[in-house]
Amino acid sequence: MRDFPPTVTAWASPGSAGEPDTRGPGRFLWWLVRQQPDLIVAACLCSLAWMLPTALTPWVFGRAIDEGIVPGDRGQVLLWSAVLLVVTLVGASSGVFYHTVVVRSWLVASYGQTLMVTHKTARLGHVLTRRAPAGEVLSVSGGDGEQFGHFVEIVSRLVGNLVAYLLVAVIVLQISVPLGLVVLLVAPLLVVVSTVLLRPLSAAQTRERSRDSELTTMATDIVAGLRILRGIGGERIFGDNYARQSQRVRSAGVQAGGWAAFVEAVGVLLSGLFVVALLVLGVRAVGRGDLQIGQLVTFLGYAVFLVQPIRVVFEAAQQITRSFVSARKTIGVLGTPDPWPGRPPAELDAGGDLVDEASGLRARPGRLTMVVSAVPDDTAALADRLGRYLPADDTLTTPEDDEATGRAARRARLERETARAELAGRDAERAERPWGVHLGGVDLSRLPLEVVRRTVVVSDTRAHVFAGTLQDAVDPHHRLTREQAEEALHAAAAEDVFDILPGGWQGVLDERGRGLSGGQRQRLVLTRALATDAPVLVLVEPTSAVDAHTEARIAARLPGHRRGRTTVVMTASPLLLHHADEVAFVEDGRVVATGTHDELVASCEGYRRTVLRGEREPASAPVGTGRDGATSPDDGSTWGPAAPAGQQHVIPEHRPEEVTSP
Amino acid sequence: MTLGTGLGADSARTWRDPADRPPPVPEALRPPAPGTVGPRERHRLLWERHRLRRERALTHLRESQDPERGLPVAPPGTVVRYLRGLLRRRAGLVVVVTLANALAAAAGLAVPLLLGRLVDVVVEADGRPGAGVVTDLALLVVGVLVAQAVLTYLAKWLAAVLGQGVLAEAREHVVRAVLRLPLGKVESASTGDLVTRVTRDVGSMSSAVRWALPEFIIGVVTVLLTVVAMVLNSWALAVPTLVTASLSLWQVRRYLQHAPAAYLLEGATYSLINSTLSETVEGARTVEALGLQPERRRAAADDIEVSSQAERYGLVLRNILFVVMDMAFSLPRVITLVVGAVLYARGVVTLGQITAAMLYIETFYGPFDRLVGTIDELQVGIASTTRLLGIAEVPPDRTPGEALPAGRELVGRGLRYAYREGQDVLHGIDLTLRPGERLAVVGPSGSGKSTLGRLLSGIHGPGSGSVTVGGVELVRLPLDALRREVALVTQEHHVFRGSVRDNLVLAREGASDDEVWRALATVDASTWVAALPRGLDTVLGAGNQVLTPAQAQQVALARLILADPHTLVLDEATSLIDPRTARHLEGSMSALLTNRTVVAIAHRLHTAHDADRIAVVQDGRIVELGSHDELMEADGEYAALWRAWTS
């Protein structure tokens, strides 16, 4: 039988099997069930065994009364007691198996979901984050994964309960047809009635949940901005804001609690009245001689019992509805197509010129080329092109609106799905046509993407530092010798990162490199990029957050470390530019001058203005087009009228850490 | 830091051959391959693994209660005291909730008794009871049912009122405690721990208070009353159930002892899974650029393997409990039937009593099972609440005095500071700021410039020496007063979820709209704010009005204008302004800095060039101090750098 953790092969390697069916939510759920047939069947059988004693006890008990206790037949009492014992033992001992199988089934589904999301994310890389916000991807793994756990669980419970219901139906109809019909028809009716009441309850609960998640966001926000609140002030304002929202959650919670209490009370009343009605009918039947006293007891027992399977049916209906919603969201992530066309395997000759048609940049093999632009966005876009990354300015960003319900939500969802599909179409088109960047005369679009990624490594300001040991951060592929790692660390002047981490290479970095300063993180990223030893390395503003002393050191060490391999650095730092073999100056997206740093300083006015200080041209980019992490070519003064230096913004990001546990 | 030296012996010692990387979980936790060991050995190994998993859970419990870094955890007993205080303030409500629950449960338990009575009536009348008797009984049952329904409604609703009230007060208490955290702690501690506390711990406290607490009350009341009702019905028929139920109690206790550690560990492994995945998603581009796909897939698989072990421990714990409880609560069925038959034959009990006893047995398991579940949840909730109340246990890092500064001169004398015992970052720095001057602090990473900035802005008190403004030590000033003297400005420009007004007046509570608009105008932000749909009332933050980075920077600047300290310490704050909006903001920044003393900790030499004085900090000492021209003339460290920069 299958066990957790599950093995997921989808998207693990090119042409791998085991990908889910993402043609529709129903198909996806069916695929989910087919992933664990043995567990589902076992769970159904266990669930049935578990239901057996509760389903049969009223009947056995009634027979014991009529055939044993009332006539005083000791043999019959013993016989029916023995039957009850067997049924009870089967039920009680199946509990453990049932629980084990259900937990397995649940975890296979929910862990499997996390693994699929991980694999899909790894497969799509930057393409995924263009189409789905990180929060959505995470909730597909966490919240929706949990829904699928519930889903596989409810399937088996539903089957067990339905079979039990049929069994009881046969029993009661055999005892008395009219009373049997009453039992079988009224019980579902009762549940239908209480389900009508469930609607306002679930609306109230939804309101409470959404207010509560807003409250959590506020708390996270307060923590994220705590330095400002404690440094500049505002504790009272934000404390009060939080308290106000907390009270709104409270009132929504009280309201939801009121509805829940009402639903429960109505349930108590209705099922109680049902029993009373049955009792009156039953006593009459006994009076007419149609029913024995033990059979009456049996009916009373079933009147209480039957509510359960029907509850389960409705619970299952709700769960399946929720699972459809989750499946649709999951398809949005797992079903998003990979834009890259298949290409015949080929090798790339890194010994040729790297040429970008759009800007006219030509980086010569084995040389250190630096690119300066007055507009940082231009160099960032250039780096994207050189590395064959889809353009950053065409992404899907509208976040999902959880508050919206009904028609508005459906329309918003449709719009999102359409936008996503359109973007996927544009991406595929961009990926298919000639890319406009050549290496050794070959357009990058003619090669398999893996070959491009292996040959041209781009390390930009968005580079992420992962949690783990320092050794893993510098040498994630375990390909380096210690000496090589030391050399990379040295070339990036990042020895202090080694020094401050207790445990040296085994020292542990927090997620996102939290705990390191912006400069340390940037040098760690540079170390990692240098350690790849890529045939072509593109570095975007590698020292923007580094102080001048250390930058000078990096500038002196970088050329030696990259000697003989093609390197392109986007920067405006004169300390670095000094060491370039060739500098290209970009204006309005085109290379307008090339030469050494000294030559350009001497000959090109725009270059001088950008690299050295002085009055600048009016900024060409309008306010509001900024992108985080962009860097400045201009090292202006903090106090001067000129622009201050831009550095990599180090904004700690916080999100509520969801705990999902079955 | 010296140039060009190697990393020394530490590097060789700590570099690990990738081949001897430890597996995510110890080998001993994996079951043996099928067919390798006999059934007896297999059985022994199963329990061995269970024991190992218990140790892992307990280790995690200890570590989570005593975090190495981060905030403290409240000592035991605090939670109970705190909860008692919360409940005492609602004593009336607590009594009513308990009473309503008890009455509802009592009414519910009367129904089987009445049904049993009816059976007896039918039997006594030999199948033909008088219509009046049946109607009376039926009406009685209906009456009891209506009472039960009303009481259930009241009990549940009041429990929700109580639970929600307690919860709201508790979480507001926690957030107020967060907002009181000492300044030094906020600046130096990682926020991860705090984020976990205000999200996950508040979440599990909330489900404990909202759901488990009322259920617990209901459970206790129902279980007790069921016992009473069973005994009232027939003590002889109640005995089998009571005996087996009490026999199961020792196992329930064992389970309850171990369960919290198990669930805490499960929860922790899920947040590990989530944080690894969120790194994979946020770093998807990096994963792609560096070909880290196999590593990220493995990281996820490892996390899930660790999580699976935690789940297995919980699974076995529950299964042991279930074996005992399932037997203890279902075997009485059979025993009661046999005993009932014997006693009926002797005329001791009636058929009605047997019927009622059987109905009670079927209804006993549910509340008891739920009770065990709620105790579980309560324990996890209590563990979370301990961590939440721990936030309030951080001792204040300053005791404000009475004295108010006379003057604006900021003086640092003999400043030393160590983050870790015995490792001074600053080695006796003397620095006097002239009011109105611009001082640039330059120096390599790790030289202590940022620490110096924090001391000068009163974030940390110096280890020895003093920082005074107008003759009063910064750490002896009340926070409100300190903020009027000096502010530390860092790279962060956080935009809060809240209105534009809230985002600004936090710097000066009670500022009028006029003042807010003036501050916005000073940083050239009044135009776009006026154009927002609801002006100052527009709500900012994710999901609402999103600001561009440039606008966020302007908001940050406007805050400082409102705060109006006479001295600003800018720690790498130059990034506060995006170069593309520089032209737009150049006036605003100088408007902010005009007539203020400014200390700029800078990466960039241009900042230094324009300063009145430059302090070069190296290895925790000021090695050069003077104007640009003076330092160029001195031909030291600064001069060398400057030449490298400009040549």
Q: What is the pLDDT of residues A159-199, one digit of tens each?
A: 999 999 889 989 989 988 888 888 788 878 877 877 788 78
Bridge partners for A644 per DSSP: A636
**Cα(B227)–Cα(B242) distance, rounded to whole angstroms?**
8
H helices within B28-130, ranges in order? Answer: 39-65, 78-88, 91-124
Alpha-carbon distance B515 to B592, whole Å?
15
Domain match, B163 and B248 both? no
Return d(Cα B84, Cα A630) in angstroms, integer: 53
| Residue in B330, B372, B419 to test binding to A, most A beta-carbons within 10 Å | B330
Q: What is the pLDDT of residues B470-491, one digit of tens each?
A: 999 998 998 888 988 998 887 6
Chain A residues near residue B271 by CB distance under 8 angstroms: 657-659
Interval A455-496: pLDDT, tens: 999 998 888 999 999 999 999 999 999 999 999 999 999 998
Q: Note whether B20 contacts A: Cβ–Cβ < 8 A.
A: no
- Residue B40 belongs to a domain: no
Q: At what angle do helices A548-561 and B637-646 cross, to 10 degrees?
A: 60
Do B207 and B244 have their domain in common?
no
From residue A599, alpha-carbon distances to A374, A577, B37 in Å are 18, 11, 78
Mean pLDDT of A289-313: 83
Residue B22 has a pLDDT of 82
pLDDT of residue B573: 56
Q: Which of the given ranges, A4-18, B120-134, B411-425, B426-440, has the highest pLDDT on average?
A: B426-440
- The average confidence (pLDDT) of chain A is 84
Interatomic CA distance for residues B623 and A524, integer angstroms: 28
The kind and range of the H/E element at B448 are none
Q: Are A551 and A543 in contact (CB under 8 A)?
A: yes
**Geometric angle at alpha carbon B297, from A513 and A492, rounded to 5°:** 35
Q: Find the range with the poorest average confidence among B28-32, B499-503, B540-544.
A: B540-544
Pairing of strands B613-618, B438-442: parallel
Q: What is the C-alpha separation between B270 and B39, in angstroms, rounded?
A: 33
β-bridge mates for residue B468, sequence order: B411, B473
Per-residue confidence band for A662, with pLDDT thresholds at 50, 70 and 90 = very low
Assess if residue B51 is contained within a domain: no
| Cβ separation A118–B297 shorter than 8 A | yes
The 3-state DSSP class for residue B631 equals helix
Nearest to A220 by CA among A657, A628, A512, A514: A657
User: B77 to chain A, minimum CA–CA distance in Å?
Assistant: 26
Give chain A's radius of gyration (CA, Å).
Answer: 34
Verify that B536 and B642 share a domain, yes or no.
yes
**Residue B212: φ, ψ to 5°:** -70, -35
Six-digit token string for B148: 């039960």
pLDDT in tens, B343-394: 999 999 999 899 899 888 888 887 888 888 788 788 878 888 888 888 888 8
Same domain, B463 and B505: yes
Cβ contact, residue pair B292, A122, below 8 Å: yes
ipTM: 0.85
Q: What percent of chain A has pLDDT over 90?
A: 46
Q: Which of A263, A147, A154, A152 is nearest to A205 (CA)?
A: A263
Q: Do A81 and B15 touch (CB under 8 A)?
A: no
A193 touches chain B (CB under 8 A): no
Here the tokens at position B380 are: 């996890």
- Mean pLDDT for A622-650 is 35
Q: Which residue of A has its CA nearest to B641?
A: A549
CA–CA min distance A521, chain B (Å): 12
3-class SS string, B571-608: ECHHHHCCHHHHHHHHHHHHHHHCCCEEEEECCCHHHH
DSSP-derived letter for residue B466 is: E
Task: Write the CB contacts of B407 (distance below 8 Å, at least 6 apart in sequence).
Answer: B469, B470, B471
* Closest C-alpha among A643, A214, A629, A251 to residue A463: A629
Q: What is the CATH number of the domain that holds B548?
A: 3.40.50.300
- Residue at which a domain ends, from B395, B428, B451: B395
- Indicate if B166 and B278 belong to the same structural domain: no
Integer Cα distance of A662 and A267 in angstroms: 27
The domain in which residue B261 lies consists of: 235-348
**In this structure, is residue B354 part of a structural domain?**
no
Give yes or no: residues B389 and B477 share one domain.
Answer: no
**Pairwise CA distance, residues A526 & B553, whole Å:** 27
Q: Decide which of B208 and B357 is more confident.
A: B357
Q: Does the CB of B196 have a partner CB in chain A at under 8 Å?
A: yes
* pLDDT of residue A59 exceeding 90: yes
B217 and B240: one domain?
no
For B586-611, how does the pLDDT look when each residue is reduced to its tens digit (9 = 90+)?
A: 566 777 888 899 998 877 777 788 78
What is the phi/psi pair of residue A654, to 5°? -130, 140
The Cα B94–Cα B214 span in angstroms is 10
Flag whether B589 is in a domain.
yes
d(CA A336, CA B370): 43
How many folded domains does chain B comprise? 3
Compute the distance between CA of residue A529 and CA of residue A462 in angstroms, rounded to an integer: 13
**Confidence tier at A651 by pLDDT (50, 70, 90):** very low
Same domain, B131 and B199: yes
Best to test chain B binding among A623, A635, A650, A658 (most B CBs inside 10 Å): A623
Identify the band that residue B172 occupies on the pLDDT scale cut at 50, 70 and 90. very high
Q: How far is CA B630 from CA B431, B634, B636, B644, in A?
A: 17, 6, 10, 18
Please give the average per-residue pLDDT across B622-631, as a whole number.
93
**Is B206 found in the same domain as B146?**
yes
**Is B364 a domain residue?**
no
Which of B150, B603, B613 is the best mutation test for A, with the most CBs of A within 10 A? B603
CATH number at residue B133: 1.20.1560.10
Q: Are residues B244 and B227 in the same domain?
A: no
The end-to-end CA distance of chain A, in Å, is 21
CB-based contact, B172 to chain A, within 8 Å: yes
Is residue B49 domain-resident? Answer: no
Q: Check whether A592 has a pLDDT greater than 90.
A: yes
Q: Look up residue B246 and give its two tokens.
A: 């009490």
User: Residue A86 — φ and ψ, nearest 5°?
Assistant: -60, -50
State the Cα–Cα distance between residues B501 and B506, nearest whole angstrom.
8
Closest CA to A598 of A608, A610, A590: A608
User: Does B5 map to a domain?
Assistant: no
Give a yes or no: residue B198 inside a domain. yes
- Which residues in chain B have their CB less than 8 angstroms from residue A514's CB? 190, 192
Crossing angle of the two packed helices A177-224 and A307-334, in degrees rounded to 10:
40
What pLDDT was estimated at residue A437?
Answer: 95
Q: Any residues with CB less than 8 A from the CB of A198 and at least 6 apart, and which?
A: A263, A314, A318
User: Do B555 and B631 lie in a common domain?
Assistant: yes
What are the b/e assignments for A380-419, b being 16+ CB within 10 Å?
A: bbbbbbbbbbbebeeebeeebeeeeeeeeeeeebeebeee
Q: Above 70 in pLDDT, residue B322?
A: yes
- Whether the per-residue pLDDT at B274 is higher than 60: the answer is yes
Does B289 share its domain with B227?
Answer: no
